[in-house]
Amino acid sequence: MLVLAIDTATPAVTAGVVELTADAVLLRAARVEQDARKHAELLMPAVHAVCTDAGTSLRGIDAIVVGAGPGPFTGLRVGMVTAAALGDALAVPVHGVCSLDAIAIEAAGEGPLLVVTDARRREVYWAAYDEAGERADGPHVQAPAPVVERARELGAVAAAGGSAALVGLPVRPPESPSPTGLVAVAAPALRAGTAPDPLVPLYLRRPDAVEPGARKRVSA
């Protein structure tokens, strides 16, 4: 099975083609570009490039996996809308996965782990994982200081993700979700042929825009 994996939940614009077998997740091609302001401009060229590098066309893709965040609204929606549109056009299933889970599955090892990425506004997105990479807490969005305290309570021994250094733990790679990490998270559902759940972005914050209230009455 050939799977297209994309993620725009971090400053990295990630696209890859991964071959999923009965017992392995094999990278066929990947493109990662760092630019938090150009997700929309960079993503589809990267998708076409990885298909070419992998020796396939978009019509040869059997499924799509997309990082569902948490991530800033503008960047995250680029990846999710692109994945949804491609899935509809190609008539293939689209599986959304937590982007922090995709980092954790590659960074997991000895002891509990935190995955921490930039949420802007002096905050971070974070989640906690056991040594097998299974999520134990989160995802959340907070200032770094409470996360440091929570890391002590959880007994975390390391951190991964683009903002991992902020929590004062030894840092492990990767900084952002890789195509293989994304597909590895979705692998049980893909292998089982399970229908994907609806795509739901993990924004974690309420939108800045609000509906206007009733007009104030002006007294004479």
* Structural domains of the chain, ranges and CATH numbers in brackets: 2-98+178-192 (3.30.420.40), 100-172 (3.30.420.40)
pLDDT digits (tens, 9 = 90+) for 99-111: 999 999 999 998 9
pLDDT at 29 over 80: yes
What is the distance between the alpha carbons of residues 8 and 39, in angstroms, rounded to a whole number? 7
Tell me whether residue 115 is exposed, middle or buried, using C-beta atoms within 10 angstroms of its C-beta: 0 to 12, 13 to 18, 19 or more. Answer: buried
Q: Is the dihedral of CA 189, 191, 195, 200 positive or negative?
A: positive
Q: For residue 204, what pLDDT is reported?
A: 87
Q: For residue 121, what pLDDT is reported?
A: 87
What is the arithmetic mean of pLDDT over 29-38? 91
pLDDT digits (tens, 9 = 90+) for 109-168: 989 999 999 999 899 999 999 999 999 999 999 999 999 999 999 999 999 999 999 999
Q: For residue 138, what pLDDT is reported?
A: 93
- Name 215's Cβ contacts closer than 8 Å, sequence gap at least 6: none
Residue positions counted in the chain: 220
Going by their DSSP bridges, the two strands 2-7 and 12-20 should be labelled as antiparallel
pLDDT digits (tens, 9 = 90+) for 178-188: 999 999 999 99
| Collapsed DSSP state (helix, strand, coil) of residue 112 | coil
- Provide the β-strand partners of residue 32: 14
- Provide the β-strand partners of residue 140: 126
- Quick check: 127 and 98 in contact, CB under 8 A? yes
What is the arithmetic mean of pLDDT over 200-206? 84
Q: For residue 220, what pLDDT is reported?
A: 52
What is the distance between the alpha carbons of residues 97 and 87, in angstroms, rounded to a whole number? 15
Rounded to 5 degrees, what are φ and ψ at 141? -130, 125
Least confident among 7-16, 36-45, 169-178? 36-45
- Quick check: 117 and 162 in contact, CB under 8 A? yes
- Give the model's confidence band at 74: pLDDT under 50 very low, under 70 low, under 90 confident, else very high: confident
Q: For residue 214, what pLDDT is reported?
A: 59
The pLDDT mean for the chain works out to 93
Q: For residue 43, what pLDDT is reported?
A: 96
Q: For residue 106, what pLDDT is reported?
A: 97
Q: For residue 93, what pLDDT is reported?
A: 98
pLDDT at 206 over 90: no
